Homo-oligomer: A and B are copies of this chain.
Amino acid sequence: MRYLIKFSYDGTNFYGYQKQPEKRTIEGELEKALYSINNHKDTRIFSSGRTDRGVHALGQMAHFDLDVNITLYKLKCALNSLLPKDIHVIEAKIVDDDFHARYMVTRKTYKYYLNMGEYNPLMRTCIYQYNKKLDIDKMKNAIRTFIGTHDFKLFVSKEVVKDNYIRTIYDAKIEIENNIVVFTFVGNGFMKYQIRNMVGTLIKIGKDKLPVEMIEKLLKKEVSDKYVYTAKPEGLYLVDVSYK
């Protein structure tokens, strides 16, 4: 039987999502828990995609197959009792045998939180502590440029080699609440560092270090990626993954 789970995690104390020998990773912890539940059988888990080290999730999704018969309620409880406190399964459901948590994604939503106000020690691992004012109007103008179908090559980590860097962003916006700047990006898929690079470059615009038009120039590859900056990971959250 194939199961799909929705789960959240605090990325602070993990070496990223992807399993690595001898490292504490989210995938590693999940597979350890599934090994116990699935009669001590190695059980692979397939997520909607990796998140970088230090990045969080409120609505990550993953599928796996179990040989054992277990109710959804018991599966959720068993996972949460076996998992460490920084990972939590929100929901479990049964899906078709040909469902795939990565290949069938239709849209993903990420949010990035930045604090323009006083440093807050309680939020140091879950909101980027920028602690200075930004020109929000400029950033609001600039972020709109990302909406649509573009070649995001200059916003992607150089480690990544792909045939195709074209992706569609359905929505991109900035909201403010009590000095917290919330960036939201909804798209059909995002590549490694793409969101952190989009946010980092927007921050430079908000600081008046780059003009609003730089986003368009980067998307059109009229300039080099030396104008692209990477925002810190701790402000970033995968908040939603949608399927057909």
Is there an interface contact between A88 and B8, defined as CB atoms closer than 8 Å? no
Q: Is A238 an interface residue (CB 8 A)?
A: no
Q: Tell me the complex Cα distance, A78–B119, Å.
A: 15
A residues adjacent to B (C-beta < 8 A): 8-10, 56, 58, 80, 85-88, 90, 118-122, 124, 126
CB distance from A1 to the nearest CB of B (A): 24
Name which residue of chain B comes closest to A85, CB basis.
B124
Q: Tell me the complex Cα distance, A90–B85, Å.
A: 31
CB distance from A123 to the nearest CB of B (A): 8
Name which residue of chain B comes closest to A120, CB basis.
B8
Set B8, B118, B121, B124: member contacting A122, Cβ < 8 A: B8
Is there an interface contact between A122 and B56, defined as CB atoms closer than 8 Å? yes
Set B86, B118, B119, B124: member contacting A121, Cβ < 8 A: B86
Q: Tell me the complex Cα distance, A120–B10, Å.
A: 9
CB distance from A224 to the nearest CB of B (A): 35
Is there an interface contact between A88 and B121, defined as CB atoms closer than 8 Å? yes
Q: Tell me the complex Cα distance, A122–B57, Å.
A: 9
A-B complex: 4 closest residue pairs judged by Cβ atoms? A10-B121, A10-B122, A86-B121, A88-B121
